[in-house]
Chains A and B, each alone.
Chain A
Amino acid sequence: MSTTRTNTRTLRTEDIDVCARLTGDLGAHHMGGHGDRRMAQGALTLSVVPLLADPGVHMRDLSFTFLAPVYEGDTVTATLRATGADAAEAPAGTGQVPADRALITCEISVVNDAGTPVLTGTGIAEVPRATAEGLLNDPTGGGS
């Protein structure tokens, strides 16, 4: 059983400023521009990915590759495909799974307005069991 959630957002110049203040990432390509456009922080792009900011979600494992830069004014669509996972899939050294919680595997992709992939990744999330059951048994197969 799997489900897919998507989220679309336009990353504004002021979002880059807020992200810079919150993360401290003041890289020159974010603040002064790369060419004539400011590049969004990776953390800002990740803020669009569904599930990552949901309360009670603990990412035990997250790996991602930045495929192309995201610039101010770009509209990005992030898709997360979640699949039920066995406790045996927990990354080594990250502890037992409590009885009231469950693991799900995540496949993440982010594309820009042109449909060009800008980020891809995989992860293992530990979530409240009720959240996992609601997510994975969503009869619509997911949504935004």
Chain B
Amino acid sequence: MSSIAIKNAVHGDISVGTVLTWTKQYTDQEVRDYYELAGEPTESLPEHLPYVLTVAPLTKLGGDLDYLSQRMDWQATRPLGRNEEIVAELEVTRLEPTAGMTKIAFDARIRCGDEVVITGRSKGLIVSA
């Protein structure tokens, strides 16, 4: 295990192996607001969440770190129901502080209960760390 760590106001000390988590369940109003943002009809809501909302909790965790993503890759086994509770996990796989920034990479997961529905990876920079 690397001894390199960065401090974060939301998640505390972060090093390789740290798993950041966030749980989210969208309200129908939030789903409606997203469709409005995307320029889609909002009269009747589909059974499943729009894709971007399914992965958005991962971007929330990135936002906590002031993370600037350069690349993201996701694979999903099924669509997520509109009212499912989503648990997002980002596991730090690389942490490399350099001058004025930190290179960081994650393995990403979205769980519904014990089921892993989305897996992926992301890499990018934290400029303020």
Contacts and interface: CB of A to CB of B under 8 A. Distances in A.
Contacts of B74: 59, 61-63
B72 A64 contact: yes
Interface in A39-78: 41-44, 46-48, 52-66
Contacts of B24: 24
Interface residues of B, number: 42
Interface string B40-64: 1000001010111101110110111
A52 B62 contact: no
If over half of B's interface residues share one DSSP class (helix, strand or loop), that class is named, otherwise mixed; here it is: mixed
A56 B46 contact: yes
Nearest to A62: B74
Interface stretch (A87-95, A107-115, A132-140): A87-95
A99 interface: no
Interface in B75-129: 75-79, 124, 127-128
A23 B56 contact: yes
Given A47-B34, A52-B50, A53-B35, A65 B63 contact: no
5 contacts: A18-B37, A22-B30, A48-B38, A53-B40, A94-B77
Given A7-B39, A47-B37, A61-B75, 20 more contacts: A18-B33, A22-B33, A22-B56, A23-B57, A23-B59, A24-B56, A26-B63, A27-B66, A30-B63, A41-B59, A42-B59, A48-B38, A53-B34, A53-B35, A53-B51, A60-B75, A64-B71, A66-B71, A66-B124, A95-B78
Interface of B: 22, 24, 30, 33-35, 37-40, 46, 48, 50-53, 55-57, 59-60, 62-79, 124, 127-128
